[in-house]
Amino acid sequence: MLLRLRARFDPRRDAAPWLAGQPLAADADAFLESLETLYVVNVERNGNIIYTWKGTRGHTCIGLYDPNSQTNEHLYTFEKDLHVISCSVNNEKTLLAVSFLQSTKEVTANLLFQPVSKCLTLLIEICPINNVKVLKAVDNCIRVQFLYPVAETQTFPESCLLLISEDKYVEKFDIRIVKEGHTAVIENSSHLPKEKIADDFLWIQWDTLEQRLFYVGSRDILNCVQFYPDKSFTLILEVPLEISLPDIGFKLLNLKCDYYQGQEVEPQPLNLHVFTNERGSFCICYCIAPVKPGDVTYSAFFLHKGYSKTYTVALERTDFLQVKDLTFLNLDYYVAVFLPGHFLHLLNTQHPDLMCCNFFLTGEDAKINGLHKSAIVSPLKSMVLDLGTGQLFALEISKQGLLQFLWNSKRDSDRLATLHCLLLYIGNTTELETEIIKWISENMSTCFTFDPVQEFIIASLYWRMCPEAVNLDKLLPYTSLGCWNEPIPGITCTTHIISLPVLKAQNCKGFWEKLISSLEYVKYAGPPLRFNSKVLQRELEKLHLDQTDEGKRLTMYFTTIFEYAKKVLSNLNTRSSEERLVPFFQDEDYQQQLQTGLMAAQLKDHLMRHLQYVGKKRIEQIAVDYVSKLLGLMCRIMENVWRKYNLDSWVFYLGQQGGSNEALVFHLMCRMLQAANEMCLPLPPGFHTLHTRLGVRCLPLYTLLHYIDQGVLHLTELCVLNLLKELDNTEKNEKLKLGILARLPEAIGHKVAQLPSHPLGSSTIVQTYIKLLLEKLGNKRPSTSLVDRSPAQIEFLPLNYLVTMLAEVDHQVVFLRLGGFRGTRDCEFETCRRGGTEAYGHALGPLVLRSEDEWATSSNISASPHAATSTHAERPPLSRQKNCWL
């Protein structure tokens, strides 16, 4: 189960022991009767729960339960049988407002003498119990609600009371309290100042936590009134509702929890709710009676995004279907659309654009254990009141339920929604990261529409970095997907552009400031605001093309990029104080440093364009932190994989065959490399070295060379040097060295050639390689145009040049004198060719490198094979020869 209920108030657990200790509940039968009549009438902003029950003599009692201290308190007792429909106590617990319906028997008896109003609204002094003032005596029901200050620890000499009438008006009473010793009394109770807040409305909703009143007037416009601790209030927002509102009469939300009102009234055709959260999300959800049997249609207006989405659910069964049972619940980051017995839809209010970021659950996954089939209401955010049992629950998304759902999910949409919920809503912890990485390592190949490595990195970075600056959540990517076109079984969705709300107030703070900022981005945003890796890819390709340019501007740009790379790596080393398990950061990878610095530079430029009010140094630090945390997440993934497969040693001797665990890690690194390449993400320095070493140990020679040719494995200087150093000159290793040398990039090849014992000193490698090349060219017509043929060109420059020269002299003995290193080295190459390829091995020999003195004393080289053999025999020992590039 994704949703978990946690009981905040259970009458039998929290109130029954206290009721049993009351003087009037000495009789067991009376106590049970009192417990059966207990029900909740209100939940205040501070979490206090007000409930009522019937005493032994038919008295109506009102009590308060404080969930923080887990204590009960008796507030007031009416010596009559009353139906309390609304009740509220002020923050200081000095005043109690009660609205109740008189019992039918009492009204009938009083009608013999005088007319009696059905509903009375009283204001009672309860510190101590003293005066009682009648505020309203009408036939229609009245709801009461005290306003609460934002700072609950602060006391105010005045209290404000809202009265909401079914006659479609709202009034505010200002009540001043004076202290007379230990007694709190109402000052000038006969003339309480009052103001009219709204009138002639069709629908109204009270937001207890944020002290806001939403109502829809006759012009189908949603209005919002914000109340402040200093008694002031402001009509702060107007939203034109682009829906057709029927004649719904009166609809009241979050201000009625009674069990008597409305039981005989026909269900209203409109189910409308407003949801906000502290991140600036403003969502309006509504459901209208379906046109087609078996379908349920509801819409969500995401005002902070500038569009609405209409969802249509095709139910698997239509027995006992009642649309009035559809419930909207506020879970802060999500809005839950719940139809008991059918489906549970969790709408992501922060990122509603992609359907895959929402949960759509049916069957067992859609159940909420602990809720009965009776009606439920949501008096507070993430709270559910079961009207059948009187239990108040805190509703939350279970982390363990999410992890279990992640492992059991078969659809990519469910997996992606779960990853986003875990990383962006639950919060990224070390324990949670470990569990997610474990799932990723075992399910990489089962996800077809998204890459779990990319989603883990991007979503984790988004959660970590967004608190660093205001509006950063609008500029950083939260997913690697640009769109989602895959259908989700059972539900369809359409999107519509809507009119933006009109804000009546200026210089707002808190939620309204964030909403205004979101609306500004919706109004004036031209190109996509979020940082896109495609821009980084284009810039990287441009740099590769312009590397031959020796211009001063390009040189300075490269310098800046590598300075950013140094800052990123320094920042990463500072954050990672513990000893690393995976052997990264052991060598300098030019390409990865270039990508690292380029990403930091491009991200800084992107943020500078949109966060102009943030200082340049601060933005630069944000960009550096982003890239360093990205590399840290890469290392985190590898460390968890390292522990999982028990690869404790840093040293992998290349002369030994790797085990099955190493093969698994190698393929996981291949997927990480693919994920990074697709989004142009940098990798930690040393990643390619470690990847290639594992490839040498785990792959057969042909596959290894194929991986190198296809760009899966990248040869680095440290890897090549270690390979040439650790491998001996057996036939198998000679073939491996030969294949590696033939694929060396030019920059690494020059460094390898300068080693005192580089592999060109091995006659076997040189002879074998030249033999293979000549066999390949044997059936081709010699031509100087061979130089221009791309298939014959080898990245290994010395042998490439040699093949070119041999192709130009068909069936002749050629003596080449080539300049190796200008001014200090000359190179003499002796070869002859006789009818078969075996002659090449003896005639060509290895490269003979001589100093200038040795060259001067040498005579003219004979063209006979004997002369070539003689020259070969007179060479100094291999250890005395010097090597160079042709």
Task: State residue 429's pLDDT score.
Answer: 81
Give per-residue pLDDT as tens, 631-657. Answer: 999 999 999 999 888 886 655 677 778
Average pLDDT over residues 297-319: 89
Q: What is the mean pLDDT of residues 501-521?
A: 88
Query: Is the predicted pLDDT of residue 86 greater than 80, yes or no?
Result: yes
Q: What is the pLDDT of residue 223?
A: 94
User: So what's the pLDDT on residue 855?
Assistant: 33
pLDDT at position 380 over 60: yes
Q: Domain residues for 837?
A: 758-886
Q: What is the pTM of this model?
A: 0.82
Q: Is residue 837 part of a domain?
A: yes
Give tens-digit pLDDT for 722-768: 888 888 878 888 888 888 888 887 777 777 666 655 554 455 566 66
pLDDT at position 589: 82
Length of the chain equals 886
Rounded to 5°, the CA angle 133-171-260 comes to: 70
- The number of domains in the chain is 1
What's the pLDDT score for residue 852? 37
Percentage of the chain exceeding pLDDT 70: 74
Q: Give the residue with greater pLDDT, 218 vs 105.
A: 218
855 exposure class (CB count in 10 Å sphere: 0-12, 13-18, 19+): middle
What was the pLDDT predicted at 761?
A: 47
In a domain, 867, yes or no: yes
Quote the CA–CA distance of 410 and 488 in Å, as a whole number.
Answer: 12
Q: How many CA atoms lie less than 13 Å away from 733 in the CB half-sphere?
A: 15
Strand-strand pairing, 826-830 and 270-276:
unpaired
What are the distances in angstroms from CA 619 to CA 203, 342, 610, 614?
46, 48, 11, 7
Q: What is the DSSP-derived secondary structure letter of residue 759? A: G
Q: Is residue 880 part of a domain?
A: yes
Answer whether residue 353 shows pLDDT above 70: yes
Per-residue confidence at 110, pLDDT binned at 50, 70, 90?
low
State residue 717's pLDDT score: 87
Average pLDDT over residues 509-524: 89
Q: State both tokens at 69.
A: 């201290």
In a domain, 366, yes or no: no
Q: What is the mean pLDDT of the chain?
A: 79
Confidence of residue 659 (pLDDT cuts 50, 70, 90): confident
Render the burial of 805-839: b for 16+ CB within 10 Å, e for the rest. ebbeeeeebeeeebebeeeebbbbbbbbbeeeeee
Is there a domain that residue 862 lies in?
yes
For residue 97, list its beta bridge partners.
88, 123
Q: Are 557 and 549 within 8 A, CB to CB?
A: no
Q: What is the mean pLDDT of residues 351-379?
A: 85
User: Which pLDDT score is estimated for 787?
Assistant: 39
> What average pLDDT does this structure show over 225-245?
87
- pLDDT, greater one: 721 or 29: 721
pLDDT band at 26 (very low <50, low <70, confident <90, very high): low
Asked which of 279-288, 698-707, 721-730 is least confident by mean pLDDT, the reply is 721-730
Maximum average pLDDT range among 25-29, 313-317, 844-848:
313-317
Q: What is the mean pLDDT of residues 151-177?
A: 83
What value does the mean pLDDT take over residues 854-859? 36
pLDDT in tens, 766-819: 666 566 556 655 655 444 443 344 444 555 555 666 666 666 654 443 333 333
Of all residues in the chain, what percent carry a pLDDT higher than 90?
Answer: 42
What is the side-by-side strand order in the sheet with 307-314? 270-276, 282-288, 295-302, 307-314, 491-497
| 875 domain residue, yes or no | yes
What pLDDT sits at residue 881?
A: 35
pLDDT of residue 839: 34
Among 19-28, 68-77, 401-410, 756-765, the minimum mean pLDDT is found in 756-765
* pLDDT band per the 50, 70, 90 thresholds, residue 25: low
In a domain, 190, yes or no: no
In a domain, 812, yes or no: yes
Question: Whose structure tokens read 């000038």?
Answer: 188
Q: Is the predicted pLDDT of residue 619 greater than 90, yes or no?
A: yes
Range with the lowest mean pLDDT among 58-62, 150-154, 352-356, 580-584?
150-154
Closest to 631 in 3D by CA, of 457, 434, 480? 457
Q: Distance between CA 15 and CA 525 in Å, rounded?
A: 55
What is the pLDDT confidence band of residue 266, given thresholds at 50, 70 and 90?
very low
